[in-house]
Amino acid sequence: MISTFVKYVHLLVLFPLISLGGGGNTIAPKYVNEFLSIGVGARGLALGNSQVATIGDATSGYWNPAGLTRVDCDRQIAAMHNEYFAGIAKYDFVSLAAPVDATRSLAFSVIRFGIDDIPDTSELIDAEGNINYDRIKSFSATDWAFLFSFGKLTPVSGLRIGGNAKMIYRKAGEFAQGWGFGIDAAAQYTYGTWQFGAIARDITTTFTAWSFNTEKLADVFARTQNEIPENSMELALPKLIAGAGKKFYLNKKFSLLPEIDLDMTFDGKRNVPVRTNFVSIDPHLGLELSFNNFIFLRSGINNIQQVRDIDGSKSTVFQPNFGIGVRIKSLSIDYALTNIGQKTGLYSNVFSLKLNLNRKEAPQI
C-alpha cells in the first residue's frame, strides 16, 4: 500500500519535469501568482502552512483536494478574512464542499487578494499644466482565483486522490488585466496514525495572458519615453509540496498532531534552506494540541530565510505563527496571529469560520 502511494508521488514529481523539459527557451519569472502561496484559513496559517497531509475540510480545495473525501457532513462552508499592512491589502477566501457519494467529493473556492482605493494621478495635471485635485480618481489592483476541486477514495485502503482546475483573473484598474488557467494533482495516504500527502501545483504550467489598455497608458508612456506594452504572457512553473504528520494520543482527551511539509520549486535558486540549480526546498512545520476535539492550540514556523544585516553579517530568520480554535457543535471558529514581516513586527490577525450543514431527515409517516 505504501508503495502505491510512493508511485503516485513519483507521478506528481514527473509532471514538473515534463513541463520544464517542454518549455524550450521560454523563461518564466519567479513568484508568479504568489497570492496563491499565502495560504487560507486561520488553522493553516497558524500551523505555518503545514497541513497538506492532514487537511480534511472545505479548505482542502486549496491545500490538498484529496482531503475533500474526509468532509463528514452534507455541506461544509469555510470563510476567511485577513488584512495586511494596517488594512492596506485585503485577503479573502470562501469555499463550499460537498460529498457526491460515498467515494467522491466536490468543492468550489474563491480567493481574492486586493488593494483598493489606489489614487490615480495620471490626470492630475491638465493639458494647460494646471493641477486639479478633483481629477484624481481611484482604482483597485486585485488578484482572483476560482478553484474547482474534486477528491476521490481509491480501492487502495487509505489512499485518496484529487485535483483542481483553477481559473485566475488579475486586474489593475483600467490599465491591465490578465486571465490564466492551471491544473493541480494531489494525493493523501493514511497508514495507521501516520498521514502523508502531496500536491503538484500548476502541473501543466499555468499561463496568464495579460492585455494592456494602451489608449489609457499612451500619454504617460510617451512622457517617460517607455515602450508601450500590448500584451504579455506569465508562466507559473510547477511546484511540488509533500508532507507527513502523525497523531499522538496523550490520553483520552488530549492529542498532539505535528506535521512537516516541504515546498519544492524548480525555477532556480530561491532564498530557502536548501537550494540547488535543479530544486529549491523550503521546509515548514506545524503543531496542534487538541483537548477533547473541542479546543485547539496551534503553532508553526515557515518562511525560513537567510538575510544580510546592516553590518554585512548574515542571520537566519523565520516567520512564527500562533493560533487557537474552538469547535462548537457544527461551527468551528479559528484565529491565527502571523508575523509576515519577520523582523519588522508586522503582525496580522486572521479569523476564519467553518460551518457544517446537514440535510434534515424527512419525517416518517
Tell me the whole-structure pTM to 2 decimals.
0.84
pLDDT in tens, 176-202: 899 999 999 999 999 988 999 999 999
**Bridge partner list, 351:** 81, 335
Give the Å distances, CA to CA, from 161 to 153, 157, 204, 264, 346: 7, 12, 18, 20, 37
SS3 for 74? coil
pLDDT in tens, 55-71: 999 999 999 999 999 99
Distance CA 44, CA 39 (A): 7
**What residue ranges define each of the domains in the chain, with the CATH number in brackets?**
2-357 (2.40.160.40)
Q: Which three cell numbers stand for residue 206?
A: 499555468
| CA neighbours closer than 13 Å in the CB half-sphere of residue 251 | 2
**Could you count the other beta carbons within 10 Å of the beta carbon of residue 297?**
14
pLDDT in tens, 117-158: 888 777 777 667 777 777 778 888 999 999 999 999 999 999
**Bridge partner list, 120:** 137
SS (H, E, C) 185-226: EEEEEEECCEEEEEEEECCCCEEEEEEECHHHHHHHHHHCCC
For residue 40, is pLDDT > 90? yes
SS3 for 135? helix
**Bridge partner list, 179:** 169, 209
Residue 78 near residue 352, CB atoms below 8 Å: yes
SS3 for 251? coil
Q: Which three cell numbers stand for residue 3?
A: 508503495
Q: Which of 170, 159, 201, 207 is nearest to 26 (CA)?
A: 207
SS3 for 325? strand
Residue 16 near residue 263, CB atoms below 8 Å: no
Residue 3's pLDDT band, with cuts at 50, 70 and 90, is very low
Distance CA 217, CA 132 (A): 19
Q: Which three cell numbers stand for residue 296?
A: 485547539
Distance CA 323, CA 295 (A): 11
pLDDT at 323: 96
pLDDT at 229: 62
pLDDT at 264: 96
Distance CA 256, CA 321 (A): 17
Phi/psi class of residue 202: alpha, beta or left (left: φ > 0; alpha: ψ in -120 to 50)? Answer: left
Q: Which of 249, 334, 243 is nearest to 296 (CA)?
A: 334
Distance CA 257, CA 260 (A): 10
Residue 359's pLDDT band, with cuts at 50, 70 and 90, is low
Cα-only R_g, the chain: 23
Distance CA 235, CA 30 (A): 9
For residue 87, is pLDDT > 60? yes
Distance CA 87, CA 135 (A): 25
CA distance from start to end of the chain:
47
Distance CA 34, CA 202 (A): 12
pLDDT at 101: 92
